[in-house]
Amino acid sequence: MASFLSLCFQPSESSKIYMVPEGRKKGELRLYRALEFPLKWKFEKVVLSKPLIDSLIVEYNAYYWLFGSDFSAFGAKKNGELEIWYSDSPLGPWKAHKQNPVYNKDRSLGARNAGRPFMYKGDLYRPGQDCGETYGRRLRLFKVTTLTTTKYEEAEVVFGFQEPKKGRNSWNGARYHHLDVQMLPSGKWIAMMDGDRASSGDSVRRLMSGCTAFGAAVILVILTGVLMSAIDCVPQINRCLPISGKRSDAIDQKEQLDHLYSKLRWFLAHLNKLASPLQGKIKTNTWSGRVVLTLIFLIVVSLTCIGTRYIYGGNGAEEPYSVKEHYSQFTMLTMTYDARLWNLKMSVEHYSRCSSVREIVVAWNKGQAPNISDFDSAVPLRIRVEDKNSLNNRFKPDPLIKTRAILELDDDIMMTCDDVERGFKVWRDHPERIVGFYPRLAEGSPLQYRDEKYSRKKKGYNMILTGAAFVDKGLAFERYWSKEASKGRDMVDKFFNCEDVLLNFLYANASASTKAVEYVRPSWAIDTSKLKGVAISRNTQAHYNVRSECIARFTKLYGNLATNIWEFNSRKDGWDV
């Protein structure tokens, strides 16, 4: 296309709606009138024969004003130039402002338009683009103080928009550069803004960087072959470029190829002469030669991984997954105490940058609670100091939590935001289930608590640990704090264990024959508590024995959990392999 749809405007006291699509490639600015807004338009006329960018028309002080940038003009600074025209009618004729260009300055200072100007309390405001780091990096807002046919002045005002804190995981983490503000008939205001997780030209840069890395790997392999005398730069040319074709054309073709062969042989001979001093420098039968080959191998592998990451790894953003083309958010809830503050700080800093996290709630069970200012969080953080050091606090009803989805997550578990987003997507498909990342199996007679390795050996699971799992706030908290679960909660306090096992029993009991749990396999996960020696369950076998005891007691209270065993790799998306 030679143009793309841009900004609309409606003159006062008129039912007509006009649009000026950007026509930089056509070299002219065209005016269209809506016949059936917003789908059907009629071309009216060429407004200006200039390749303007981000052009817009606004009615102000008895004139129509056209703002636009012409980067093709002599001396114009790209993304830093702004010109103005004025007219008595949107159809023209348009006259150039006396100060044109009104701006021709640093591209970070907001000269390029970033949306339609708007009136607020009698003043005109113009959004501008800060293109300092990349095209459309952020928005700046200017209050027009003087706009006449001979003079233009504006002053920057506080935009009041908080910069994204989640980096590229934010919807506008890399840039946001257009804003449209309108007042509704009710008197309230509404605004729409675009955003991007990738900077301008990101895909091209990644492709070039990836190809450079692959090219460097190939050159290094060839150079290594020369150093090992494994590559000869003078191959038999007649094998590389064979003569083919009809017999009648063979003589002419042979003469042409002979000439090409001679030039190619001359080039390869000189290349071989230059490479001859390098041949045989690496000897595979020596210790030093093997070390050098090992280092070269590691470098080639690293370059290949880097190239693959640049070309196939995307822009680095761990984006949310939509469900029926809609997105949502969840609250992360973690339970901890003073000895694990280091784990908590690292967990908050990491997970607060995940796209769909709305808030982090910390159930503080023991010791002096830290200050919110001690944490680096990209989302609101709330520390809920508990009256009692109890594992039951993990599922304590909290009316301040605004989301339906809760990610129960131990502070010592680290996984990628993409894994978390995948788990959230699966939970949104099945909000009646416990959806998590650590499967377990209760099996045997009497029932024994089994780990993930055993579960995979048996090719099934019937429990999901809630140390890393999504639950429905209403279902989970209501079931856990029901009257029927009171004896189970007492056992949790007695053993200081098994709160997740209890919730699995309550879900299984309520779900009957339907599936109560859902597994999502993380790409990787690290237990950071082992790095600091603050793991709660250090004696694994003793921990499992207590859980087996809990299973036996819960079975008498809430029925047999092992009635159903769910197989791995049963999902079409392959996220539970």
Interaxial angle between packed helices 473-480 and 499-511, expressed in degrees from 0 to 180 and rounded to the nearest 10 = 110
pLDDT tens, position by position, 322-351: 998 899 999 999 999 988 899 999 999 999
Per cent of the chain over pLDDT 90 is 66
Q: What is the CATH number of domain 4-183?
A: 2.115.10.20
Return the DSSP state at 196.
B
- Name the residue ranges covered by the structural domains of the chain: 4-183, 203-312, 330-563
Return the DSSP state at 369.
P
pLDDT tens, position by position, 258-306: 777 777 777 767 666 665 665 666 777 788 888 888 898 999 999 999 9
Listed range (21-35, 260-274, 351-365, 492-506) with the worst mean pLDDT:
260-274
Residues 6 or more apart whose CB falls under 8 angstroms from that of 378 comprise: 165, 166, 352, 353
Residue 160 has pLDDT above 90, yes or no: no
For residues 249-254, average pLDDT: 60
Residue 406 has pLDDT above 60, yes or no: yes
For residues 526-534, average pLDDT: 67
Across all residues in the chain, what is the average pLDDT? 88
Q: Render 292-306 in DSSP notation, one character per residue.
A: HHHHHHHHHHHHHHH
For residues 171-181, average pLDDT: 90
Residue 35 has pLDDT above 70, yes or no: yes
For residue 314, what pLDDT is reported?
A: 81
For residues 135-161, average pLDDT: 94
For residues 71-81, average pLDDT: 92
CB atoms inside a 10 Å sphere around CB 33: 16
For residue 496, what pLDDT is reported?
A: 95
For residues 245-268, average pLDDT: 66
Per cent of the chain over pLDDT 70 is 89
β-pair partners for 154: 144
For residue 180, what pLDDT is reported?
A: 92
Dihedrals φ, ψ of 63, to 5°? -125, 160
Listed range (123-137, 188-202, 241-255, 483-497) with the worst mean pLDDT:
241-255
Are 143 and 110 in contact, with CB atoms under 8 Å apart?
Answer: no
Residue in 490, 500, 573, 576 annotated catalytic:
500
For tokens 């939970």, what's the residue? 427
**So what CATH class is 330-563?**
alpha beta
pTM of the predicted model, to two decimals? 0.79
Q: How sure is the predictor about 226, in pLDDT bands with cuts at 50, 70 and 90? A: confident
For residue 1, what pLDDT is reported?
A: 40
Q: Render 99-155 in DSSP notation, one character per residue.
A: T-SSEE--GGGS-SB-S--EEETTEEEEEEEE-SSSTT-EEEEEEEEEE-SS-EEEE
Q: How far apart are CA 154 and CA 413, in angstroms?
A: 52
For residue 262, what pLDDT is reported?
A: 77
Residue 194 appears among annotated catalytic residues: no
* Residue bearing the bigger pLDDT, 260 or 571: 571
Strands 405-409 and 330-336: parallel
